[in-house]
Amino acid sequence: METNVYRTREGLRHAFRDVLNFYYPDCLDTRVGGYVAQLDERAGYVYDSRSKHLVATARAINNFSLGTLADGPEWCRHAAEHGLRFLSTAHWDPEHEGYDWLLDERAPVDRTRFCYGHAFALLAGARVHQAGIPGGRAELDRAFSVLEKRFFEPERGLYADRASPDWAELSPYRGANANMHTLEALLAAGEATGEERFFERAIEVAERFTRELATETDGLLWEHYTESWKHDLSYNEDEPDHQFRPPGYQPGHHAEWAKLLILLAEHREEDWLTERAMELFDSAMELGWDGNHGGLYYTVEASGEPIVDEKYGWAHTEAIGASALLARYDSSYLEWYDRLWEYSAEHLINPRYGNWYERLTREGELPEPDHGPAVEPGYHPITNCWLAMGVLEDDPTALDADG
């Protein structure tokens, strides 16, 4: 395939800004604060103006902070500040010192303490601080303090999953997803502050999860564990299409872990980081790519047999980001970079607005949209376009196979 437009900074910047423009200004809630993140992915209308989900709030802050860092529209800074004020007040529970999971406008609906949500609060604080916006460092420090005090298990080197609102009860479930996104946030915190403690914790999590635990599953990454971090291979086996915690292996998460290991390798010299990143990305493509219809399956057996054969937008953006970073080490990854963009441009990107669809059928058709409160307001495509733009900033020929 000839060099495509997404190998250029201009093409990536266009895709990056399309997603920002899809959400702004409709996402700003000027009445109660925060964001209205629940926009219909096809037509762009608001389908829920009241729900304020912690992850959606934090992800939107991340997006507008990256817009500021990338010299995007001038309104990005204001939009990031707007979200940070809401995160630090409405989502924060000063009595129990934790972030509330779901609000109805400003009233708590679900106060469960999720590590996953606190990780995104840390990411939001880190990105705001990195963008030079006041208040970001304070939020970064607060979120990290809760993660370390309430979720980190020193004897395991990993993070627990969730707790009751008063922190009295810790769930026995342990999971990959919370640790993966905490690792992401730790990397962002280290890059924003230059402090080694964040990278030290990040490599501890990365090594424990992607090397030690993975030896029990032939190098693949299982998602679900018991309280003692034993593989729970039967978890949700009776719910193969569970939206957030399905059984099986997730190719998209293998690509996402690969991306994070490559980012960590920029700050650590351990050779295993790049080697393991390549292994994980290669496994994601080998097991997850649909040779008949294109695109990555959502979940698969260890053999590559699909369990849920739908194609999720986030998985493709994460693989795009990973392949862009890996191409700096081996230009053959550009083949996957091009193939992923080709599939995404044809099937996953809304031709009307430029936002990304949440999911497709195996054949690439759009199912009925999920109009729930737990949305991802463009966080995956924005973050990975930004990473790919950064690759080109470091080396303008990095995405050129002949460069």
Catalytic residues: 253, 380
Q: Is 2 exposed, middle or buried (0-12, 13-18, 19+ CB in 10 A)?
A: exposed
- Nearest in space to 41 (alpha carbons), one of 361, 363, 351: 351
Tally of residues, the chain: 403
Quote the tokens at residue 121: 């609060």
How far apart, in whole angstroms, are the C-alpha atoms of residue 299 and residue 224?
Answer: 13
Q: Is 353 exposed, middle or buried (0-12, 13-18, 19+ CB in 10 A)?
A: middle
357 in Cβ contact with 366 (< 8 Å): yes
Query: How large is the C-alpha radius of gyration of the chain?
Result: 20
Strand partners, 108: 103
Helix/strand/coil for 169: coil
Q: What is the DSSP string of 51-98?
A: EEEHHHHHHHHHHHHHHHHTT--THHHHHHHHHHHHHHHTSEETTTTE
How far apart, in whole angstroms, are the C-alpha atoms of residue 136 and residue 132?
Answer: 8
348 in Cβ contact with 356 (< 8 Å): yes
Strand partners, 132: none
Chain position carrying tokens 């860092």? 69
What DSSP element (H or E) covers 158? strand 158-159
**Within 10 A of 62 (CB to CB), how many other CB atoms are there?**
29
> Which residues have CB under 8 Å from 234's CB, separation 6+?
247
**Within 10 A of 215 (CB to CB), how many other CB atoms are there?**
8
